[in-house]
Amino acid sequence: IISLKNKRALITGAAAGIGAAIAYRFAEAGAILELVDIDMRGLNALKRKLSKFNIEVNVYKVDLSKRENIISLWNDLEQPPDILVNNAGIYLFKEFTEVDEDFLDKIFDVNVKSVFWMCQEMIKRRKRGGVIINVASIEAVLPFATGLVHYDISKMGVIALTRALAREYGKIGFRVNALIPGGIETKGVKKLKKEAAMKLNMDMIKTAMNFKNRLPLGRFGSPDEVARMALVLASDMSSYMTGAMVAVDGGFLSA
């Protein structure tokens, strides 16, 4: 059994999907939780669900796309967390030739810059090292879907950041790893598929079908299947791992 008792974990994008599943697994393992999202309703609903574990859960409504919000979040924390999970991210589809500056800024602000600033605060404020888990995507390593060029490069930025920080701060006790989810059926992903079906966006539907057929395990994953690996990366079970890219992808990268 993996225990995170007496550990503080901060999870971003915790109100839904993979982030909420990670929060659930960490709560079950006994961690004290600092949950961050722009969606306060989702955070409060999750907090109610976690009450059965009798652990401390604090929720924070923060738009992570602005550095000033990130700094005031860290100032509000009673103490810096032992474990930081940078999971918040947005995947909006847009044809490469239609991407404008505002759109690209938005993607980078949330997917890369927020992770950069969160890691910076963690490393500045934690004197005794700690664990950082950054959620990237297989899309970065093996771009597959149509209309996600901007997303792919943002997630590759997250991977580069992870590896660079692992190298720079390993000797002072930080372990920094990237989780690389494949196709995970969250509500967000289901909504995208429904929208594609409604708009009869055959490209997107075909991409999803091809994707599933290519998977060695023949199915999409669940948020909890990613959360279980986050639990390993957060705990001493992975004490000799840093700078790793851990794919939870049904075998997609190998196929």
Residue 64 touches ligand NAD, criterion: CB under 6 A? yes
Nearer to ligand NAD, 16 or 27 (CB): 16
Helix 187-198 and helix 17-28, axial crossing angle in degrees, nearest 10: 160
Residue 143 touches ligand NAD, criterion: CB under 6 A? no
Q: How far is the C-alpha of 149 from the C-alpha of 96, rounded, in Å?
A: 6
User: Maximum distance among all alpha carbons in the chain?
Assistant: 53
Q: 3-class DSSP state for residue 39?
A: coil
Q: How far is the C-alpha of 37 from the C-alpha of 210, rounded, in Å?
A: 32
Q: CB of 7: closest distance to ligand NAD in angstroms?
A: 22
Q: How far is the C-alpha of 132 from the C-alpha of 118, rounded, in Å?
A: 10
Nearer to ligand NAD, 30 or 58 (CB): 58
Q: Which x/- pattern over 73-102 shows residues binding ligand NAD (rule: CB under 6 A)?
A: --------------xxxxx-----------
Given the structure tokens 């994707």, which residue do they identify? 211
Out of 143, 188, 228, 253, the residue judged to bind ligand NAD by CB under 6 A: 188
Given the structure tokens 């999971």, which residue do they identify? 87
Q: Of 8-16, 52-60, 73-81, 234-242, which part binds ligand NAD (CB under 6 A)?
A: 8-16
Is 151 catalytic? The answer is: yes
Count of residues in the chain: 255
How many Å from the N-terminal Cα to the C-terminal Cα in the chain? 32
Q: CB of 111: closest distance to ligand NAD in angstroms?
A: 7
Residue 184 touches ligand NAD, criterion: CB under 6 A? yes
Q: Which residues bind ligand NAD (CB under 6 A)?
A: 13, 15-19, 37-39, 42, 62-65, 87-91, 110, 135, 137, 181, 183-184, 186-189
Catalytic amino acids?
A: 151
